[in-house]
Structure 1
Amino acid sequence: MTNQVSFDRLTEEEKYVHFMQRIESGEKIEADDWMPEEYRKTLIKLISMHAISEIMGALPEKEWVPKAPTLKRKLGIMAKVQDEMGHGQLLLRVAEDLMTPYGKSREEIMQDLFSGDLKFHNVFHMEAPTWGDAGLIGWLVDGAAIISQTNMLDASYGPYARALKRICAEEVFHAQHGEAIIMALAEGTKEQQEMIQDSINRWWEALLMFFGPADASTTGTSKQDITMKYKIRTKNNEELRQDFFTKYIPRVLSLGLTVPDETMHFDEGQQKWIYKQPNWSNFKEIIKNNGPKSKDRLRLRIIAHENNAWVREALSSETNAG
């Protein structure tokens, strides 16, 4: 590798070529390394959105902590909520390092969320009115998250790849937690089985949209090509969605459940799942914070942020005093 003095003498174009050579050879980029603005901004947007989604994603399940049917279930879902908040804080720290050249901090990330400039994942705008929803979030939503996140375990940006290793390990337990709830309900009464089916019916479109549109023409925006160019991830949106179907459709059917799509089947000739596209207009509305629970969850996050300002101020004072 060139030393720092000789590297500084390179033109921006030469630095970019050198950067891409590092990525192609499998090297990890660190926070204090030179990187193209497009790479840095793509990472900031991706990791900030991931961080905020971990935090906002805890809110639908937080609603079920006091309502879970047994003490064991209360403890399980409470531990899961704590894990998700921890994931969010870890990722905010990774994003902060990338934002240092711009003089921005995690406080500004939160303000971007409150202003609507930063989005959180579409699935976490949904309602969770039943215990079946609490189980489905762990089973299928976290299952989808594992498929998406393991695709980035070897991301070219080192701090993100290392954070994902810890997050994915814990998400496996979350998926098992959700699956345990679903299995208990599936082995229960007819009403409990109907509860699961109702949850699948209501969440199906959100699950299809979890991975994003197949291409930019669907919604007008797509960053998948950029993330693949920089080896942040290796598969596109549709490949990830197909992986989700392959893993979970057989499991859903094995429980005597169905998906609300009469066209769904695996085409042996094309070697892929055929399915009915979700209404991508709904997706565009949801990511504009016009989903079923968007406003309520944002309001809850704002209240918590304001009520706990004194904790951040106290910690900041201790840090400055030290």
Structure 2
Amino acid sequence: MDVDSEQKMKQFMERIDRGDKIEVDDWMPEDYRDALIRLISMHGISEIMGALPEKEWVPKAPTLYRKLAIMAKVQDEMGHGQLLLRVAEDLMEPLGKNRDDLMEDLFSGKLKFHNVFHMEAPTWGDAGIIAWLVDGAAIISQTMMLGTSYGPYGRALKRICAEEVFHAQHGESIIMALAEGTEEQRALLQGSINRWWPSLLMFFGPPSKAETGHTNQDKNMRYKLRTKTNEQLRQEFLTKYVPRIWALGLTVPDPSLRLNEDAEWEYAQPDWKEFKQIVTGHGPKSKERLALRVRSYEMNSWVRDALGKRAQPI
């Protein structure tokens, strides 16, 4: 790094430490840009892929009211994805890349999405768990990043977090209806909790690099893209939701789960090797969901072509 670059880096980190917001046209080190592109594109793609398990339940929702609610949620999630990918595109433009490159990275397996969206959702209880607990986990994570050092991401998150609150309420409504229903409905709900629990623990990512290998957590915290560790977020999730699950007369499939005298949750670690397999495209529904995304992208290529031609000067 030459003297000029060192000075720019020093000034940049001073801005980060002061709590300034970095904008897309500001000077930034390539390391910072790369970290942002990785974080925001993964978030954006996860919003889009995350709509697919619930999309499966649109034609099977038990009532018209539930059908309309889950359709609206799917629409919101797709909108979140488009908003975030637009933010990522602005960062990629100086590198000569665009959204097509992101989609190619997704299809090739280079760009990953959240582990939970590789999983099966075989019952209506799963639709409730996704909206209540998965979106609840997302709210905890995204609220933490509202103070991110990158201004455009923080502004996008403000809107997304507001809408995610409604999604969680939609999920809670499904959960309450099942919990207050028949024994069969309660059993269905308990089965969904049992099925999703390991994935929910994995949602926030591995606890530390030393235990599980590669993680970008330290870099993101240094640049104030985030302010809490994966484990701190997981502890917040357990504190918020375990008492609620118990209050419904349901159980968590972990006999070792307990709150210790330091007010920290002790729990059985999920299989982090399995986590790595899932996020690299080897989950129960990975191939099917990616294939659906590929078909959708190919079928809508004419829209992109038409918009591209319209944007050209006559």
TM range (shorter): over 0.9
Aligned AA (2:93): T
CA–CA distance in 2 between the matches of 1:224 and 1:319?
39
What are the Cα deviations for residues 163-203 of structure 1, in whole angstroms up to 9, with x where unaligned? 00000000000000000000001010001101110001010
Alignment match, 1:6: none
1:225-253: per-residue Cα shift (whole Å, max 9, x none)?
Answer: 11110111110000000000000000000
- 1:10 CA displacement: 6.7
Which residue does 2:45 correspond to in 1? Answer: 52
Which runs of structure 1 show a deviation greater than 2 angstroms over 4 or more consecutive aligned residues?
Answer: none
Match 1:292 to one of 271, 284, 287: 284
Cα deviation, residue 219, structure 1 = 2.8
Aligned partner of 1:253 in structure 2 is 246
Amino acid of the residue matched to residue 170 of structure 2? H
Aligned to 1:73: 66
Q: Which string of whole-angstrom CA distances, capped at 9 and with x for unpartnered residues, describes residues 55-97 of structure 1? A: 0000000000000000000000000000000000000000001
C-alpha contact (below 8 Å) 1:58/1:84 kept by paired residues: yes
Which deviates more from structure 2 when the two are superposed, residues 282-291 or residues 212-221? 212-221
TM-score calculated relative to the size of structure 1: 0.96
Say yes or no: does 1:207 pair with 2:225. Answer: no
Give the counterpart of 2:309 among 307, 314, 317: 317
List aligned pairs for 1:1-322, cutoff 5 A: 11-268=4-261, 270-321=262-313
What letter is aligned with 1:273? Answer: W
Unaligned stretches of 5+ in structure 2? none
Give the Å deviation of 1:217.
2.5
Q: Number of aligned residue pairs: give it.
A: 313
Match in the other structure for 1:5: none
Distance 1:27 1:222 in 2: 25
Structure 2: how far apart are the matches of 1:143 and 1:320? Answer: 43
Deviations 1:27-67 (A, max 9, x none): 10000101111111000000000000000000000000000
Q: Secondary structure at the match of 2:145?
A: coil
Quote the Cα distance in structure 1 between the aligned partners of 2:114 and 2:159: 20
- C-alpha distance in 2 between matches for 1:217 and 1:89: 35
CA distance in 2, matches of 1:219, 1:50: 21
Rounded to whole Å, the distance in 1 between the matches of 2:60 and 2:311 is 39
Alignment partners' CA distance in 2, 1:318 and 1:180: 45
Deviates more, 1:209-218 or 1:155-164: 209-218
Provide the C-alpha distance between the structure 2 equivalents of 1:190 and 1:282, rounded to a whole number of angstroms.
33
2:194 and 2:313 map into 1 onto residues whose CA distance is 55
Distance 2:149 2:271 in 1: 33
Q: Write the letter of the residue equivalent to 2:88.
A: A
Return 5+ residue gaps in structure 1 as ranges.
Answer: 1-8
Residue 4 (structure 1) aligns with? none
Offset from partner CA, 1:194-219 (integer Å, 9 cap, x none): 11100010100000000001101333
TM-score, structure 2 normalization: 0.98
* Residues in 1 aligned to 2:211 and 2:63: alpha-carbon distance in whole angstroms: 44
RMSD over aligned CA atoms reads: 1.1
State which drifts further: 308-317 or 166-175: 308-317
